[in-house]
Structure 1
Amino acid sequence: MRKLTYGMNVSLDGYIAAPGDDLGWTAPGDELFQWWSDRVAATGTALYGRRVWEGMSSHWPTADQRPGVTPAHVEYARRWRDMPKVVFSSKPLAVDWNTRLVTGDAVTEITRLKAEDGGPMDIVGATLAAAAMRAGLIDEYVVVTHPVLIGGGTPFFTALDGWVNLALAETRTFSGDVVLTRYETRG
């Protein structure tokens, strides 16, 4: 069975995006950017919600062709394009760059994908992750906490029907006082 991880940059007050989908507070330093890039390289399949897909696909397919691009960004763009991706959307949506679209029930498809052979999977996007959380499909949570309070927006965690017991698996501090905590689900 494949491992499913939900991980994102999070404000100290628990949001992944400020009102208006503002992500300006999440700009990673070099060390954290490299950590995210290495994570993409190790991901067997990434599962995206529509809104996150639209943001990622508007930038990364050609990010390595922009003036002044850094070698780290070139590497990330290549890794992102090569990584198998599944986008979940109830609306028709153009997908490319090693990606397929699923318009049916996300929980059913994620359950099927978890049962397949293959590398670990990452789930990205609060709405999609919420459905997987409620279905008990997430094996690991990676919370990359930035030292900022944004006061509202899109929360990392959704309301759940019951408790999810976790075990701390890793902590790490990056430059800029950004703290990674990784938790595995118990039972």
Structure 2
Amino acid sequence: MPEHQRADARRNYSRILAVAEEEVAAQGANASLEQIARTAGVGSATVRRHFPTRRALLEAVSRERIEALVVRAQELTDQGDSRAALLEWLGDLVDYCVAARGLAAALAYDGDMADPLHQNSCAAKLEDSAGALVRRAERDGVVAAGVTVSDLITLVVGIVLATEHHPDAPGQANRLFGLAVAGLSPQS
């Protein structure tokens, strides 16, 4: 939130964000912007002035979790086994995305990355912070050459979105993530 805003605009932003966090937790990424505006006691135009796109709102709602994942990637970067460190971080990403409805949608890529209004700042922060984990794992030969953080985020987002309505979403998401990591072939 820009510091140069008037006090009432800062209050509106904070109120909208608090309501949005509750609505997204309850309804997921498609939470009604109109309902958020009504509950926050502001007009739809005020919500759109602060959050010009749904992605901007989801990114703001997800900011704390993204920061926690950034810190976690930094903590794991120099720890022990590079494969275990990367898988631990990815497991945290899966768990956070399942627990925080809307986070997977905030990380999903959509079309025009050249348009600054539509750039995915959440995914970009994670790519920057987890890049060292992936590079180290690749250097150690435990991740295929050319695998990117973007690839891994896309994989996690797909799994989480596909299991979002499963009766045991966390269990199913983690099972499918484990399957993706292990591959389809039986272990010999």
- Given the two structures, how large is their TM-score scaled by the length of structure 1? 0.24
**Larger strand share, 1 or 2:** 1
Q: Per residue, is there more helix in 1 or in 2?
A: 2
Question: Which structure has the higher relative contact order (CA within 8 Å, separation 6+)?
Answer: 1
TM-score (norm 2): 0.24
User: Bigger radius of gyration, 1 or 2?
Assistant: 2
